[in-house]
Structure formats: C-alpha cells, structure tokens
Amino acid sequence: MRLSFIFLLGVICFSSSAQSTFTPLNNDYLHFIERYEIKSGKLSNKFYSNVKPVGRKDLLSLTVALENDSTAKLSKVDYFNINYLQNDSWEWLQDSYPDGMSKGKITQNNTKKPLFKYFLQKKSDFYYFNNEDFDIHISPIFQFGIGGDNLTKNAPFTNTRGIEIRGNLNKKLGFYSMLTENQISYPKYVRNYSRLYNGFPYEGFTKIVDSDSTRMITDFFSARGYITFRALKNLTLQFGHDKNFIGSGIRSLILSDFSAPYLHLKAITQVGRFQYINIFAQAVNKQVPVAKDGTEQIPPKYFTFHHLSANVTKNLNIGLFETVVFGQRKVGFDINYLNPVIFYRYVEGHLGSVDNSIVGADFKYNFLRRFSLYGQLVLDEFNFKHFKRKGWWATKYATQIGLRYVDALGVKNLDLLTEYNLARPYTYSHNSSYSNFVHYNLPLAHPLGSNFREFLFIARYQPSPRLTLNYNFMMARHGEDYNFINWGGNIQRNYNLLRPYDYNNFIGQGNEANIQNIEIGASYMLGHNLFIDTSFQNRKVDYPETSENTSSNIFSLGIRWNIGKKQLLF
C-alpha cells in the first residue's frame, strides 16, 4: 500500500474539481438512494447506485432533480426525507442549485437558538465553519440501548460515544473521520456467531472485558477515516480506512460492509454511461496466531477489485467484476495487481500463483417508477467438464435475485423488498487463510459465508415524516460443519482439508440449520439524526439431523444520535 500512498500524494496537487465526502453506509441512506432513484424514473447520471457509498454532492443532485420533477408524485413524507438529505449535506446546496436559489434551502437548516452563539447553528451540525477555503462539520456520536433475551440472563446493551468530522479544503480535498468508544453486550445468537468465527459483526479489534467469557461484553474502539479528491474531471480518488457495498439489495454477494473497515485506495472513473471502480485493499489475516504480548503484528492480506458498470438504457444497468485475494508475499502487496485494466487470471498465470480469483456480474432494472429488479452472479471456480458431473465440490458460485417495490399497492411510502440468495458449498473459501474471502475473521460478502439458501422479505412504512415502521423476515437453510468435517459452510477453512466428497455435494449438506429470523421495529426521529428505536425479534433455529432447536425472543429500546443502527439479520 506504500506505492498507492505515494501515487496519491503525487496526483493530489493536480486536483482541481469540487469534491465531497461520501454518504454514510447505513440502512436509512441505502434505502433513500434506491427509493428516490426509482421515483426519478431513470438511473442517475451523477452516481451509480449499485456502488455505495455515493458522493454527498452527487446525491444532492438527485434530490434537486426530484423536487423539480412534477411527474415524480412525491408525498409530504418524501419532501421531508429530501430536506433531511439536503440538510445533512447542506454545504453542497449552493453547487446543486442555480445561482440565488440555494439560500432558502441552506437557511432551512438553521436552528432558532444556537448554543453559545457558535454551537448548534445548524440542525445537522454541533459545530461548523464554512467559507470558500475551508469547510468543517463536527458532530457528537451517541448510542445507548438496553434490551432482553430469553436465552441469557445477561441483558444485551449498547453504550457508544464518539465524534464525527468531515469537511474539505478549497472544495478540492475532502476529509472524513469517525471515532467511537464502545461497550456492547450482544444477544445470545450473535455471541455464538462470534465464538465460531472469532469476530464481531462490522468490527475489527475487540476485547472481552468480563472475566466470565459467557457474557462476552465487548469493549473496543471503532474508527474510519479517509481523504477524497477529484484528480481529473472524470476520476475520483479515495484513500483511507472505510468500507464498500456493491449491490442494490439487502445482501451483497460481491462485496459487503459486514466485516471491519480496511485500508484501501479506490479509484472511481466515470465517463458518460460507464463507471469503472478499482479498489486496492489491505486486509487483516486474523486467522494466523500471533503472540498476545504485542511483540508480533497480525499479518496482512490483500485484495484488489475491479467493477465495470454501464447504464445500457435509462433504466437498465449491467456490471462486470473481478477480484483477487492474496498474501504471504515477501514484498507485501504484489505490484502486478496494481494494473487497473487487466484480467487477473492472466496475472495469476503469469506469476504462477495460486491466488483466489473471483469473477461475476450484476444488474439492475428500474421500471414504472415503482419497481427495481436486481441480481448478482458470482463465479469463484468453474470447470465446464466437471460441471456436467453431479455436485463437483469446486463448482463454486453464488447468485442473487431481488425485487424492490416502492409505494406498494398504492400506499404512499410503503416499500417492499423480496430477495433470494444462495451460495454453493466452499464458495469464497480457498487453500490458505491468506486467500479466502475473509477480513478480520469475517466474510467480505454474506454473513452466512457459503453453503446456504436464503429468502428475505422486508417491509418499510413511513406513515408520517418522523415515524418509520419496519418488518424484516429472513428464512435460510445453512449447512454447518460438525465432527470436524469440512462441509463447505465455514469459508475460513481450507477446502482441501477434511472435505468428505469430491462429487455429490449440495447446498445444505452437513449439519443442516433451518433459520427463521423475524424482526419488527419502529424508529422516531426526535431531531436531525436523533432517533428513538424499539424492536422485537424472534429467531428460531432447527437442526433436523440432531433434533436440536432454539428459539430466541429479543427486545430492545434505545436512543442514538448521528449513528446508524446495525443490521443483525442472520
């Protein structure tokens, strides 16, 4: 990654165009991006919504276009949401509206009574400073929640405090930083997941503070930070620790935000109907044991990712991607993989390497200003000769198909989503922990790893501007390992060790787990980015082979400020 950093420093002086930071990766923003692109009746020409996060300035352009589109049929709630998005990135309103029209939009974010004159002048910022040369926004982060779980006497809770800073220099160099200090006790099923994979969802380094490990109270820092700028008119660069999400649904089988943030250089090239993404990332191989006294560093691993996307029509987007995961090099990051315009299979053959290459495609089709059909195909390994033979272990692929329906059944702001995902056994795994699709012990794609089928149904209803109701339903069949046999569900494991069969492998083999997870929740916005949340969750797991079953009833109540709610639907 040193070469990437040198490259970044070398081109930064040529940055000349206005550049914003990116939107948050949380459920509200992801929903708004998809909903309002569908409502617009065409795919955005400012950003590609299947690659998230998107630029704040680019998202504002979509909201401005919607406001001026009389055919979009926006509701009172939609205008509230649009004002929320604009207030959240108000520094770019002047660039998004014609001269003289942005003043009213900017002042709508003003508070009536600032605190000590300089604080809380804006609804969206605790403190800000803004002029032509320098812009900065500082906001506190707070989340406190308490709940119950019938499977444990130790009540789940969340206690998070932190700070978020974003801004830009001369509207050319954007910067972002987020730091939180956390104490969290998860529900029992999340603790079990964390014991199995030795990692907590969405996070990196964590420590157990209680001597009784059954409680698994975690204490950890969480941090993100990056700089971003537009090196050329059509080229945006980002460097730092952050996450990415490729897709239009709830899950991503290509690259999700479920694991920890990772250091990466991202290049976004956008020309006309085409967008090309390059990610050069350094991940962490937590599977390698190191001394606990701090004398040894956890070894790195690396992955590179290319994604070419095209708006074939105003409603249809098709994308192709390739990625390769590698490590354990004497030279660190192999510079052969820095080539942004080459097929990685050729590089593997040229080097004689056995790295893990994955290719595939994705698509999205928006129609009737109500619907979005989307899908993904991932090919981890494919051999046509063996494909004809039943259940070859290395026929490794994953697929997704989903449909989003906004203003469903004529009910304004009732949005429905149904999604189906599957991954064959051993998909994403490899013969080394340096080349499996894992970062900090967590999958870089789907939380279940592989060897699963999953059905999702999501309903989101916003009956009034400040109230949002959610219904989340998940049903999955997951083949888990047992008796030390590798049945292809845990992608951390070496697929050459303790694999029972070469042929006749099928999804759900091993210790079959039938999972049903239902969550009903409500959120009320007290102020800008200040929410009260409550939810009830019922999660059942049935093991037909062993006649074991569990049923969890989990409730929660909490308040959060300037932070998204984590999705633990697995």
The predicted-structure confidence for 77-104, as pLDDT tens digits, reads as follows 999 999 999 999 999 988 766 655 556 6
Contacts of 37 (CB under 8 A, 6+ apart): 43, 44, 49, 62, 366
Q: What is the DSSP letter of 410?
A: G
In the three-class reduction of DSSP (H, G, I as helix; E, B as strand; rest coil), residue 202 is classed as coil
DSSP string, 306-366: EEEEEESSSSEEEEEEEEEEEE--TTSS-GGGG-TTS-HHHHHHHHT---EEEEEEEEEEE
Residue 570 and residue 561: Cα distance in Å, rounded? Answer: 25
Nearest to 48 by CA among 421, 369, 460, 362: 362
Residue 141 and residue 222: Cα distance in Å, rounded? Answer: 12
Q: Which pLDDT belongs to residue 16?
A: 52
Question: pLDDT tens-digit profile of 328-342?
Answer: 876 678 777 777 776
Q: Which pLDDT belongs to residue 349?
A: 58
Q: What is the DSSP letter of 220?
A: E
Residue 488 and residue 424: Cα distance in Å, rounded? Answer: 8
Decide if pLDDT at 1 tops 70. Answer: no
As a whole number, mean pLDDT of residues 176-188 equals 96
Residue 39 and residue 469: Cα distance in Å, rounded? Answer: 20
Residue 427 pLDDT grade (very low, low, confident, very high; cuts 50, 70, 90): very high
Number of H helices, E strands in the chain: 9, 24
Residue 346 pLDDT grade (very low, low, confident, very high; cuts 50, 70, 90): low
Burial tier of 295 (Cβ tally within 10 Å: 0-12, 13-18, 19+)? exposed
Residue 19 pLDDT grade (very low, low, confident, very high; cuts 50, 70, 90): confident
Question: pLDDT tens-digit profile of 106-123?
Answer: 778 888 888 888 899 999
Nearest to 22 by CA among 232, 273, 257, 311: 257
Residue 100 and residue 511: Cα distance in Å, rounded? Answer: 65
| This prediction's pTM | 0.93
Q: Per the structure block, which two tokens stand in for 238?
A: 């980002």
Q: What are phi and psi of 81, to 5 degrees?
A: -65, -40
Query: Given the structure tokens 């897709």, which residue do they identify?
Result: 247
> Which residues is 277 bridged to in the sheet?
268, 307
Q: Which pLDDT belongs to residue 505?
A: 96
Question: pLDDT tens-digit profile of 214-257?
Answer: 677 899 999 999 999 998 889 999 999 999 999 999 999 999 99
As a whole number, mean pLDDT of residues 505-523 equals 97
Q: Which pLDDT belongs to residue 5?
A: 47
Residue 222 and residue 427: Cα distance in Å, rounded? Answer: 29
As a whole number, mean pLDDT of residues 154-167 equals 96
Residues 79, 80, 86, 89, Cα dihedral to 10°: -160
Q: Which pLDDT belongs to residue 347?
A: 61
Decide if pLDDT at 44 tops 60. Answer: yes
Decide if pLDDT at 352 tops 80. Answer: no
Decide if pLDDT at 15 tops 70. Answer: no
Average pLDDT score over the chain: 91
Residue 10 pLDDT grade (very low, low, confident, very high; cuts 50, 70, 90): low
Contact call for residues 510 and 545 (beta carbons, < 8 A)? no
Question: What residue ranges define each of the domains in the chain, with the CATH number in brackets?
Answer: 2-561 (2.40.160.130)
Contact call for residues 268 and 253 (beta carbons, < 8 A)? no
As a whole number, mean pLDDT of residues 275-288 equals 95
* Cis-peptide into 463, omega within 30 deg: no
Decide if pLDDT at 382 tops 80. Answer: no
Instruction: Give the least confident one: 67-71, 529-533, 538-542.
Output: 67-71
Amino acid at 49: S
| Chain centroid offset of residue 275 CA | 19
| Torsion sign, CA atoms 179, 182, 187, 191 | positive
> Which residues is 31 bridged to in the sheet?
none
| Chain centroid offset of residue 422 CA | 18
Contact call for residues 183 and 209 (beta carbons, < 8 A)? yes
Q: Which pLDDT belongs to residue 393?
A: 93
Q: Which pLDDT belongs to residue 353?
A: 65
Residue 482 and residue 512: Cα distance in Å, rounded? Answer: 10
> Which residues is 482 bridged to in the sheet?
485
Instruction: Write the CA distances from 256 to 245, 443, 456, 526, 554, integer angstroms.
Output: 4, 9, 16, 30, 26
Angle between helices 76-88 and 27-40 (to 10 degrees): 120
Q: Which pLDDT belongs to residue 318?
A: 97
DSSP string, 486-545: --S--TTS-TTSS---SSS--TT-SEEEEEEEEEEEEEEEEETTEEEEEEEEEEEEEETT
Looking at 97-172, which runs of residues are DSSP E strands?
Answer: 127-130, 134-149, 157-169
Pick the more confident residue, 429 or 335. Answer: 429
Instruction: Give the least confident one: 55-59, 341-345, 444-448, 524-528.
Output: 341-345
Query: Given the structure tokens 């991607």, which residue do they identify?
Result: 321
Decide if pLDDT at 305 tops 50. Answer: yes
* Pairing mode, strands 438-439 and 467-480: unpaired
| Torsion sign, CA atoms 519, 525, 526, 529 | positive
